[in-house]
């Protein structure tokens, strides 16, 4: 029965079209991480979050609600869900993370700010104009919805005179770097992941770390963007002993996150397989994507610990 | 069994310059290593596309949307099939023709 799949996609597409994000966040929530950092407004180089880290706790809340309802939460609503969503934002209503949960994810862009400053990089932020990249619309094949959204992002870059963006997560990186140039005319923004920027700077750590850490490569970083060596170089120079799981680097095993909004049970089963591989390598693991982090850490429960790579790097290079 | 055949389906899907399902030689490597165990695709699905069996493609909504677009298959495909992009192209087709999203 294809209806629920279509409805979930429809709701996500409606949100992107009407509310500029798959799950609309208030400007206050989306920009909370910038508070107290004294970030410059404007300039030609921008740190760009694509709202990914801010969105994940909301998506997680949504997925928890889905699991309660069964493998497809809109089975309860079918066609009705989408009609209601046009008027009332039911997805945000269903997903309300606590301030503590949000703070875990907001910490990542904060870490990146400190790391880039330490590396001597000059940059500003777009605050409420730092829009979602449209990655989910792209993945779901909703190309018309994506195009409309990508044009909005491009218009912001033009209006604000942005020439270079420094991204954090892999999905925003690949959208802005590899997808937008194919669909937008005259798009010539230079896009670099902060891991590439930091690796190129060759900074010396101010504090040496120790211990074994299993590395989980993001499929998008490793196979779409060829980012495999940079995280390893940065961690190794900081004294971390990297343990590669059975599937690693370009042969990494996906966390299951991309199908979470449609088939949460399947996503969870896949995450458990990956957790077993990582656990066999070391009890601590490092991720580079908020989707990997949330999927793998919830599949692992308290059997192992996950940390975003920015936590290790900030401790070593910018503490 | 009869199948609704749309000989133009492969052509319609070729709107993406990366759609190259016809490069698939049916070796089965992709299905064997797929983390989601998506075994109907890309192999059989691509066959359906090549044969223009539109109703069969549309009946495969769940496998088409279960794909992670993780490119594990693509990394190991001996024929250089752009599997993830092909899956995305099939999704676009289904999203428009079955779910009615993005039209007009
Ligand atoms: S691995 Fe490539 S050639 Fe082999 S069946 Fe899959 S798509 Fe076809
Ligand atoms: S891209 Fe899709 S079909 Fe290929 S290995 Fe990943 S989940 Fe399986």
Domain with CATH 3.40.50 in chain A: 203-317
Question: Phi and psi for A13 in degrees, rounded to 5?
Answer: -65, -40
Q: What is the pLDDT along chain A (319 residues), one digit of tens a residue?
A: 333 566 666 666 676 666 666 566 777 888 999 999 999 998 899 999 998 898 877 777 665 665 555 444 444 444 445 544 554 454 554 556 778 888 889 999 999 999 999 999 999 999 999 998 988 889 888 888 889 889 999 999 999 999 999 999 999 999 999 999 999 999 999 999 999 999 999 999 999 999 999 999 999 999 999 999 999 999 999 999 999 999 999 999 999 887 776 777 888 889 999 999 999 999 999 999 998 998 899 899 999 999 999 999 999 999 8
The third-level CATH classification (topology) of the domain covering B20-97 is Fumarate Reductase Iron-sulfur Protein; Chain B, domain 2 (1.10.1060)
pLDDT at A75: 42
Please list the alpha-helical segments (H only) found in A88-193: 90-94, 99-118, 135-140, 143-159, 170-174, 180-183
For the entire predicted model, the pTM comes to: 0.89
pLDDT at B51: 81
Contacts of B35 in chain A (CB under 8 A): 253-254, 256, 270, 273
pLDDT at A1: 33
- Smallest CA–CA distance, residue B45 to chain A, in Å, is 16
Residue A193 has what DSSP assignment? E
Q: Any idea which residue has 């209806």 for tokens? A: A3
DSSP SS3 for B19? coil
Query: Touching check for B29 and chain A: CB below 8 Å?
Result: no
pLDDT at A249: 98
pLDDT at B7: 66
Pocket-testing residue among B45, B50, B77, ligand 1, by greatest number of atoms within 8 A of Cβ: B77
Dihedral of the alpha carbons of A274, A49, B85, A22, in degrees to the nearest 10: 90
Give pLDDT tens digits for B48-89. Answer: 877 878 888 778 888 888 889 999 999 999 999 888 988 888
Other CB atoms closer than 10 Å to residue A273's CB: what's the count?
A: 14
Pick among 2.20.25, 1.10.150, 3.40.50, 3.30.70: CATH of A203-317: 3.40.50
Interatomic CA distance for residues A294 and A59, integer angstroms: 10
Query: Touching check for B66 and chain A: CB below 8 Å?
Result: yes
Task: Tell whether ligand 1 has an atom less than 6 A from the beta carbon of residue B45.
Answer: no
Query: B35 is written with which tokens?
Result: 């983390």
Cβ atoms of A220 and A173 closer than 8 Å: yes
Sheet of A124-125: strand order equals A40-41, A124-125, A45-48, A164-167, A190-193
- Smallest CA–CA distance, residue B50 to chain A, in Å, is 20
Residues 7-36, chain A, touching B (beta carbon < 8 A) = 9-10, 13
**Burial (CB count <10 Å: 0-12, 13-18, 19+), residue A128:** exposed
Q: Any idea which residue has 């404007």 for tokens? A: A42
Give pLDDT tens digits for B11-47. Answer: 777 766 677 777 888 888 998 999 888 765 567 777 7
State the best of A5, A217, A224, A250 to mutate against chain B, taking most chain B CBs within 10 Å: A5
Measured CA distances, A12 to A6, A237, B2, B70, B87 (Å) = 10, 41, 35, 21, 19
């Amino acid at each position: 029965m294809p209806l629920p799949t279509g409805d979930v996609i429809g709701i996500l597409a409606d949100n992107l079209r009407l509310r500029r994000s798959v799950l609309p966040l208030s400007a206050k929530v989306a920009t909370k991480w910038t508070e107290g950092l004294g970030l410059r407004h404007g300039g030609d180089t921008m740190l760009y979050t694509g709202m990914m880290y801010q969105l994940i706790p909301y998506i997680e809340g949504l997925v928890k609600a889905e699991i309660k309802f069964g493998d497809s939460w809109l089975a309860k609503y079918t066609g009705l869900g989408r009609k209601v969503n046009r008027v009332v934002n039911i997805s945000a209503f269903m997903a309300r993370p606590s301030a503590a949960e949000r703070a875990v994810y907001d910490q990542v862009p904060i870490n990146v700010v400190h790391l880039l400053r330490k590396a001597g990089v000059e940059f500003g932020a777009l605050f409420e104009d730092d829009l979602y990249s449209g990655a989910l619309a792209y993945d779901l094949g909703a190309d018309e919805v994506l195009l409309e959204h990508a044009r909005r992002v491009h218009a912001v870059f033009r209006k604000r005179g942005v020439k270079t963006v420094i991204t954090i997560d892999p999905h925003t990186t690949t959208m802005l770097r590899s997808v937008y140039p194919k669909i937008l005319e005259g798009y010539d923004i230079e896009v670099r992941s902060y891991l590439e920027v930091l690796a190129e700077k060759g900074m010396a750590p101010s504090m040496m770390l120790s211990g074994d850490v299993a590395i989980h490569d993001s499929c998008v970083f490793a196979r779409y963007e060829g980012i495999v060596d940079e995280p390893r170089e940065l961690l190794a120079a900081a004294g971390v002993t990297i343990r590669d799981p059975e599937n690693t680097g370009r042969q990494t095993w996906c966390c299951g996150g991309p199908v979470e909004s449609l088939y949460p049970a399947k996503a969870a089963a896949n995450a458990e397989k990956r957790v077993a591989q990582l656990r066999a390598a070391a009890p601590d693991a490092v991720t580079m994507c908020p989707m990997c982090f949330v999927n793998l850490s919830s599949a692992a429960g308290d059997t192992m610990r996950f940390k975003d790579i920015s936590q290790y790097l900030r401790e070593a290079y910018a503490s | 069994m009869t199948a609704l055949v749309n000989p133009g389906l492969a052509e319609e899907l070729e709107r993406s310059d990366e759609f190259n399902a016809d490069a698939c030689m049916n070796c089965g490597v992709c299905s064997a290593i797929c983390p989601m165990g998506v075994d109907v695709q890309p192999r059989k699905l691509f066959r359906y596309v090549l044969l223009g069996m539109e109703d069969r493609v549309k009946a495969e909504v769940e496998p088409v949307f279960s794909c992670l677009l993780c490119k594990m298959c693509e990394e190991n495909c001996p024929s250089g099939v752009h599997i993830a992009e092909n899956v995305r192209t099939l999704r676009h087709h289904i999203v428009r023709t079955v779910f009615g999203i993005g039209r007009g």
